[in-house]
Amino acid sequence: MKALGPIPEGFEALDGELAIGGRTASALAAEAGRTPLFVYSADRLKARVASLRSAMPDRLRIHYAMKANPFAPVLAVMRELVDGFDIASGGELVLAQAAGFPTERTSFAGPGKRDEELEAAILAGVTLNCESEGEGRRALAIADRIGTAPRIAIRVNPDFELRGSGMKMGGGAKPFGVDADRVPGLARELVSGGAIWRGLHIYTGSQALDADAIIDAQANVLDCAARLSEQIGEPLVHLNMGGGFGIPYFDKDEPLDIARVGAALEERFASLPAILADTEFAIELGRYLVGEAGVYLTRIVDRKVSHDTTYLITDGGLHHQLAASGNFGTVVRRNYPVAIATRFDAQPDEVVNVVGCLCTPLDRLADKALLPAADVGDLVAVFCAGAYGATASPAAFLGQGPAVEMLV
Ligand SMILES: *Cc1c(COP(=O)(O)O)cnc(C)c1O
């Protein structure tokens, strides 16, 4: 038997079934008209942002990194909750604009921005988080041609990283950001070239559950930002401090202690160096805001036994749940939180493998999982499905196509 990940708090049974937004899994599947489906809870999104705000200093702005979940109805909810959107492509710019998010509170990071993307962002007044000298110069040339001053921040490739982070994005050679020692020179060049200076972006990693690791990374980010601003010779207008707040996906993962992170940041904010005294500070979060608000529901289409192992075969799989299948940046596959949604309050009594419908051994949703006995027609729930599910999975693989998405 292998343990399942922890089901996020607050999911309850209604008529014996998992309920989301006050509706049972089978009612939601009936409304969708087909399975699999992603269900996102607006109430959970709101509660999440509210609890985060109460833990963080008032001065800290909260940005949503929309690559975690760009579903339009989710963006419409997030628009009312957060202070900024962070985008990572021209496609996401279109989605952010369609969601009616103010472009002057949108910033655009990501390596390899094409000229068309830079132009669209400059025209829209989005802040470019500049990833290289070459990109900065292209942005200036485009701005010159279209006669619009570009709002530019520099993404720093810092000399440190977020300890214990799921995906390391700082420290050493990286395709992201400008090496710290070259930032002051580029900043001066961009400003004298006509850019509106929007400060620094320092992203150190993601999916950290250890408050101390985040506290250390934030302290390093503030020190680095102060040092670079001294070298640039201007007070810092805006600092995107990165994010990296993780959520528990696996057995023994503990939720991040945001109260501690917030208290430490409050303390740092109380004793800032002069060059950061008037800085606007922001964190950018993806999965922390939306991950636990989403559930993936997939129907069991077959139940079979092979060499004494019971398989529950579902109509979903890695084409919607690449991360849960263990194929999105994980070294050792572990089980996500999974349940039989239509028997949510039943006692677990058999060990089964839950798999998807793709013809590949990679397509696993839960290995050797202890679950209530389930059969064809039952719905399986995969939790933590609100981030990096629908859009971070190869939906076209094997001709399957996308899942239904619903906000309730
Ligand atoms: C992906 C990404 C994020 C969001 O990461 P999460 O782990 O979902 O919070 C934030 N900022 C940058 C620069 C990113 O690349």
pLDDT of residue 163: 85
Report CA(70)–ligand 1 centroid distance (Å): 13
CA–CA gap between residue 173 and residue 157 (Å, rounded): 8
Catalytic site residue from 130, 224, 357, 359: 359
- Ligand 1 atom showing the smallest separation from residue 207 Cα: 7
pLDDT of residue 168: 56
Fold classified for 12-40+292-407: Lyase, Ornithine Decarboxylase; Chain A, domain 1 (2.40.37)
Report CA(165)–ligand 1 centroid distance (Å): 11
What letter represents residue 37's amino acid?
Answer: L
pLDDT of residue 169: 53
pLDDT of residue 167: 58
* Mean pLDDT per 10-residue interval, the chain, length 408 residues: 97 97 97 98 98 98 98 98 98 97 96 98 98 98 98 96 69 91 98 98 96 97 98 96 97 98 98 97 98 98 98 98 92 94 98 97 97 98 97 95 98
Single out the residue of 167, 164, 90, 88 nearest to residue 124, CA to CA. Answer: 90
CA–CA gap between residue 184 and residue 132 (Å, rounded): 13
Q: Whose CA is nearest to atom 15 of ligand 1?
A: 110
What's the pTM? 0.96
- Ligand 1 atom showing the smallest separation from residue 242 Cα: 11
Q: What are the distances in angstroms from CA 359 to CA 326, 362, 380?
A: 16, 9, 19
On the 0-12 / 13-18 / 19+ scale of CB atoms within 10 A, 80 is exposed
What residues line ligand 1, using a CB cutoff of 6 Å? 65, 67-68, 86, 109, 203, 206-207, 243, 284-288, 387
Two tokens at 23?
């509706």
Report CA(284)–ligand 1 centroid distance (Å): 7
Domain 70-285 has CATH 3.40.50.300: no
Report CA(86)–ligand 1 centroid distance (Å): 9
Q: Whose CA is nearest to atom 14 of ligand 1?
A: 65
What letter represents residue 74's amino acid?
Answer: V
- Ligand 1 atom showing the smallest separation from residue 291 Cα: 8
48, 86, 174: residue to mutate for ligand 1 pocket, most atoms within 8 A of CB? 86
Domain ranges of the chain: 12-40+292-407, 70-285
Report CA(142)–ligand 1 centroid distance (Å): 27
Would you say the CATH fold of 70-285 matches that of 12-40+292-407?
no
67, 127, 204: residue to mutate for ligand 1 pocket, most atoms within 8 A of CB? 67
130 is annotated as an active-site residue: no
On the 0-12 / 13-18 / 19+ scale of CB atoms within 10 A, 283 is buried
